Amino acid sequence: MKKFLLTAFTVGLCQYVYAQQFIASTKDSSGLFIGDMHATGGVSSMAQAKKITFQQLRKDLDNLEKTNKSALATELATVSVDQNFSTDVFSAYVAKLEKKYKADIRSIETDNIRDVFQIDQKSEIKKRHAQVVSAQCLTNKSEGSIIRMHDLDGEEIIAFPLESFKGNSRYGLVENYHQGFARIKKDQVFGYLNYCGEEVIPCQFEKAEPFNDGKALVKKFEWYFVDVYGNESEALENVLEAQALRNGISLVRFKDGKYALIDNSYDVSKKVVSGIYDEITPFNKELFKVREGKYFGLIKIDGSVKIEPTYDNLIVTNQKGKWMIIEQNKKVGLMDTEGNLRVKPTYESITSVPIDPSVAVVNIGIAKDEFGVKLIDLNDLRMSKTYPYIGEFNKYGIAPIKDGKYFGYINTDLKVVIEPVYRSLGSFNEFGLASACKDAGNNTMKCGYLKYDGSEVIPLSFDEVANFNKFGLVVVRENAKNCSMPAGNCKVDMVYDLTGTQVIGKTNEAAPIGIRYAATDTVFNGSFIVVKTFVPDKNGNEELEYNLIERNSVKRITTQGYKSIRKYDSNLLFPVLKEGKWGLIDTTGKIIAKPSYKEMFNSTEGLYGVKYENNKYGFIDKKGKVQVAFDYDEVRPFNNGLAIVSKGSGKLGIINRYNAKIAPCYFTEINILPSSKQFELVDANNNKFVLNQTGDCVTNCTQFDEIRKLANQ
């Protein structure tokens, strides 16, 4: 048999039972303690514990008798819980409560009306009776450990701190209180504690279920009921396994492998409350799935049949269980839990569509038949048109669809937001844009970019489009007309930003030269995006160059591509290389120094060492103006306004930024002393001279002055 599972809503038997009956019934890390047993508050004395418990029991009775108050409820309302509230008063009224609840239970046991409201009301009476019986232990207590805490149903109670059992190796299970009693497993057998932590039903059972409307299922060799006073029933006939549900109803498996629902009177009546089935499993909060032979149906907690077992399978569609998938003759459809057919079983499958709840809180399925697939809103059963293909919903709440050979997008409201008119349609990127291509005739397509609402951001007028870089730039391409370039280069690239603004346009409208671009994720100086530029020569070979785009304004600052661009310096100037020559541009792209230098060094003290066409070196300033003429075979960076220069071997000297010769080009060696930053000069005769940082002579100055005089003549 085929399986048509909505996996997001599949619920296992044990998980369901505990989740529905016992709130917060999770095990701790040791796996021994079930439920949150932490104290919510302290109790100063046993007297205070009795006062609080009395108030809780009185409130419980009031809630049961919201409209018709009993005489006892009226009497309890007059009792003042003050410093004069005594143990005798507590004992008397707890006894009266027990007597009243016992009388109420005898009365309702003779009532055969079985509607959901009465079942819940009867259950509440039995639950409150069990709590009163457990609380009676406080009557004779004058001291002991008692705390405020919540039981498994989330109700605040006054009880013995079960967490005190932690670390005691005798215990294999300690479960929080439920309906007045805590289930425990001690020395490998089960029993029950009352609110005082007393083992009122001794540990003696092989298996035991939590209390369920005044009785608990227990097993020695056979299964029995045990009531709140510890009285055991007769053995439950032919029962092999049993599990408590709610409202005094339990699920049992008989020795012949059959299943049924029984109530707490089964030991006497020997009658099941449901039919006998080959399988019973929880379906949703209210219903149980039953199997009879190979067919499935639904029953209610009271055993009445909701849907006859005539279907090949029944599968819940959502957490509320509003609809269910029915399978019949290897086809599936939808039915409500009242048994009304809502979608005929004509589909091969109906599966859930995973949608992130941060995108949309919806419950959508996808149905498949021989014609294709369609979306179904599982809240109101609206359906979309049938398509050959429907993809997954993205973070914008839309999913791709295909209609014939064309693509579009549909939203979670089953409305088409992008009509399926596109030959290709990409996934939406982090900017909410997707590439799209349309037929343009002559077996061609034109491409651009769409926003997730279907609007065109970059017009669909290009022959190719690339992917956006992380800064929101994309390269688009169109085929060039009247192209004189070699085959393969008859393309024109442009660069757009994510708003659809053209950042780099065509290089030459009349005669495209086939420049290609590639938007990179590389950033210069934190503010400029690098765009690779491929420029073809007349032979069709490409040379790599670079352009810069200002990151914040997304505007191109370079008016042409450069072979190399260095990061800008303290002068906010980029050294750039074009056709083998270096120049300078500023951060707006303005050319400060035309690329006319064979070499360019990094700026020092506002000046750049450069090599001119005569293969000689000089310096230019940050405005591109020549400050030191091109007279030198070698120059070194400026240091405190002075630079070492050379006019050949044995012709080293020192100049300032205005090309004044502080030391003539006469010396064979010039060094800067590390400690003092002074200049040490050595001539051909190995005479040494020292100049300070400003160029004044400090050592062997008479001979140095003679050298300088000779140079000045």
With 60 as the cut, is the pLDDT of residue 658 above it?
yes
Helices (H), 411-506: none
Q: Which helix (H) or strand (E) holds 665?
A: strand 661-667
The whole-number pLDDT of residue 483 equals 65
As a whole number of angstroms, the distance between CA 693 and CA 81 comes to 96
Least confident of 402-411, 534-543, 609-618: 534-543
Domain annotation covers residue 475: yes
Higher pLDDT, residue 24 or 164: 164
How many angstroms separate the CA atoms of 446 and 590, rounded?
Answer: 36
Tokens of 433: 């844009």
Residue 13 within a domain: no
d(CA 409, CA 420): 7
DSSP strand pairing (581-586 vs 573-578): antiparallel
Structure tokens at 327: 């399978």
- Do 424 and 436 form a contact (C-beta atoms < 8 A)? yes
Phi, psi (deg, nearest 5) at residue 220 = -105, -95
State the average pLDDT over residues 9-22. 35
Its domain, for residue 76, covers: 32-273
Beta carbons within 10 angstroms of residue 694's beta carbon: 11
> How far apart are the C-alpha atoms of 507 and 204, rounded to whole Å?
93
SS3 of 660, please?
coil
Interval 205-240: pLDDT, tens: 999 999 999 999 999 999 999 999 999 999 999 999
Question: What's the mean per-residue pLDDT of the chain?
Answer: 90
Does residue 662 contact residue 656 with C-beta atoms inside 8 Å? Answer: yes
pLDDT at 19: 37
DSSP string, 107-127: HHHT-----HHHHHHHHHHHH
Residues 556, 476 contacting (CB under 8 angstroms): no
Question: Which string of DSSP letters, residue by residue, matches 310-371?
Answer: EESEEEE-STT--EEEEEETTEEEEEETTS-EEEEEEESEEEE----TTT----EEEEEETT
- Comparing CA positions, the residue from 172, 178, 147 lying closest to residue 48 is 147
pLDDT band for position 486 (cuts 50, 70, 90): low
Least confident span in 21-35, 183-197, 439-453, 470-484? 21-35
- pLDDT for 506 equals 84
The structure tokens listed for 549 are 């785009």
Three-state secondary-structure class, residue 227: strand
Number of domains in the chain: 2
Residue that terminates a domain, selected from 273, 289, 317:
273
Residue of 596, 600, 551, 547 whose CA lies nearest to 571: 600
Residues 6+ apart with CB under 8 A from 384: 374, 375, 376, 390, 410, 414
Residue 7 pLDDT > 80: no
Q: What is the mean pLDDT of residues 370-380?
A: 92
Domain presence at residue 222: yes
pLDDT at 507: 75
Q: Decide if 244 contacts 223 (C-beta within 8 A).
A: no
**Of 255, 273, 291, which residue is a domain's last?**
273
Q: How many CB atoms are closer than 10 A to CB 470?
A: 13
Q: Rounded to whole angstroms, how far apart are CA atoms 505 and 424?
A: 25
pLDDT above 70 coverage of the chain, percent = 93
Quick: pLDDT tens for 640-651.
Answer: 999 999 999 889
Q: Indicate the residue type of 401.
A: I
Structural domain includes residue 417: no
Does a structural domain hold residue 497? yes
3-state SS, 587-607, equals CCCCEEEEEEECEECCCECCE
In a domain, 244, yes or no: yes
Output DSSP code: residue 383: B
- What is the distance between the alpha carbons of residues 200 and 181, in angstroms, rounded to a whole number? 9
Instruction: Report the pLDDT value the prediction gives residue 320, as an integer from 0 to 100.
Output: 61
Whether residue 9 contacts residue 285, with contact meaning beta carbons closer than 8 Å, is answered with no
For residue 534, is it within any domain? yes
**Domain membership flag for residue 90:** yes
Cα–Cα distance measured from residue 132 to residue 99, given in angstroms and rounded to the nearest whole number: 10
What's the token pair of residue 585? Answer: 């541009």
Residue pair 565/547 in contact (Cβ under 8 Å)? The answer is: no
CA distance 160 to 145: 6
Q: Which of 364-378, 446-460, 469-483 has the lowest mean pLDDT?
A: 469-483
Classify 63 as helix, strand or coil.
helix
Name, of 323-337, 413-427, 485-499, the range with top average pLDDT.
Answer: 413-427
pLDDT digit string, tens, across residues 688-712: 999 999 999 999 999 999 999 998 8
Confidence tier at 198 by pLDDT (50, 70, 90): very high
64-91 pLDDT, tens per residue?
A: 888 889 999 899 999 998 878 899 999 9
Q: What is the pLDDT of residues 490-541, one digit of tens each?
A: 788 999 999 999 999 987 655 556 788 999 999 989 999 999 999 887 776 8
Could you give the CA distance from residue 370 to residue 215 in angstroms, rounded to a whole number?
A: 54
Number of H helices, E strands in the chain: 7, 57
Confidence of residue 122 (pLDDT cuts 50, 70, 90): confident
Of 251, 273, 295, the last residue of a domain is 273
